[in-house]
Structure 1
């Protein structure tokens, strides 16, 4: 089997150039690289949508765990807090009730 690249096509020309610079020590040979690439492509085609979704969920869970592990959830002291006046307290409570009405 022979692989030919259309050097007038930008994508194929870039692939041909990549193949020329391929580290054959790392990939054993250009032939082995092509075989591995085809095998990976075929394997990816056989993965179902559910498997992709499971993989995505798993990645998100791992990232969230890492973020939460680094987060500091200790209560922070509040500086310069002044008590609300009775009027301010009543206004704040009314604002909350008004906001809750939006959900009706």
Structure 2
């Protein structure tokens, strides 16, 4: 169901992280075209990024974020070979974690 792709690059003491998360991101406001029944809300609520074991970014989302969201951010620090970990948790209790090394 889910997948997180991560690329991270360090330059001059600043690391740029880019990630693509696979998720349906349903707002709960749409209806099924065939039955007319509402499609239940199902969206990522929290995204956390860690460098080594330090949290470098936290985002709180709602149903207004598009399907398969793309996230990019920068933080001070990071060296090639250091680990980056991104974890999301959705409103149904599901979670996914992806890891990558800084290049």
TM-score, length basis structure 1: 0.16
* Structure with bigger gyration radius: 1
Higher helix proportion (structure 1 or 2): 1
TM-score, length basis structure 2: 0.16
Q: Structure with the greater relative contact order (CA < 8 A, sep ≥ 6): 1 or 2?
A: 2
Higher strand proportion (structure 1 or 2): 2
